[in-house]
Amino acid sequence: MSTLATQQQALLEALFAWPQQDAVRALEGYASGVGNTPGRGLKVYQANGHLLAERALRAAYPVLTQMLGDESFADLARAFWHAEPPLRGDVSQWGVALADFVRGNAQLQDWPYLPDVARSEWALHHAATAPDPTSDLATLALLTAEDPHTLGLALASGLVTLSSAWPLASLLLAHLEGTPSLAEVSEQLRLQQAQEVVIWRAGLQPRLRQASPGESDLLRALQSGVALGPAVDAAESLDFSQWLPLAVQTGLVLGAYRLSGQ
């Protein structure tokens, strides 16, 4: 490795080393490589990196920030910055691995629902910038004229369904919208009420709600390319005739189409 490459590698190690004693050793290694003593410059770079990490993750994870509190979330963001440094220049796209990082954090084991909250928040964050598909509600007329075994449904951008052993939808909505109340959520947590969440984008607005019984099965089947007829049959507990109008009104369903080869 060339001298320049060695110095660049040492600089990266100095910026992202953690805990602090490792950072000091890395700074010393970098300084020895360039013939200088550790200076404030590198420490300023690292401090700026911490601030950048906190801002980026707070924007993507507002509920997790509320749950942990500002100080604890800042500690989490700094630790994650060093464990999973960004690989691209756009830090708004950094943070997808936070749920796994939270799951492996020994200090957060008393809150086992936090990884699911983080997964959901990243899905909301991703939905906010997902490309918009074309909406053509007139094509829903196909549902009255053709065999549902030959049709599919066009679904919203950023659509994700998540299952949790915890009251995930309630946790998110209580912090984002104030309903249900935190007291109600606490009781649901005590009873460990499992919930499924549907996340999508309507217009420019990411949306989420608790999934209806059988809805996640239907949506996952449709996303995997299963025709509408067998997808509805597999979602036995879902009343499709009641679900479809609401799905259209809320921008979850954007139209219908003929499957290729049909």
Range of the domain at 235: 137-258
Same domain, 156 and 78: no
Same domain, 146 and 177: yes
Cis bond before residue 86 (omega within 30° of 0): no
Q: What confidence tens digit (pLDDT) does each residue in 122-135 have?
A: 999 999 988 888 89
Whether residue 145 is contained in a domain is answered as: yes
Q: Which residues of 229-244 are buried (b: 16+ CB within 10 A; e: fewer)?
A: eebbeebeebebeebb
Q: What confidence tens digit (pLDDT) does each residue in 67-79 have?
A: 999 999 999 998 9
List C-alpha distances in Å: 218 to 73, 189, 250.
36, 27, 17
Same domain, 98 and 144: no
State how many domains the chain has. Answer: 2
Same domain, 83 and 169: no
From 67, 102, 127, give the residue that closes a domain.
127
Whether residue 132 is contained in a domain is answered as: no
Contact between 38 and 28 under an 8 Å Cβ cutoff? The reply is yes
Kindly indicate the confidence band of residue 40, based on its pLDDT and cuts at 50, 70 and 90: low
Kindly indicate the confidence band of residue 49, based on its pLDDT and cuts at 50, 70 and 90: low
Specify the pLDDT at position 47. Answer: 55
Same domain, 114 and 184: no
Name the residue among 55, 73, 56 with its Cα closest to residue 64.
Answer: 73
Same domain, 93 and 195: no
Per-residue pLDDT at 7 exceeds 70? no
Overall pTM > 0.85: no
Mean pLDDT of 164-184: 97
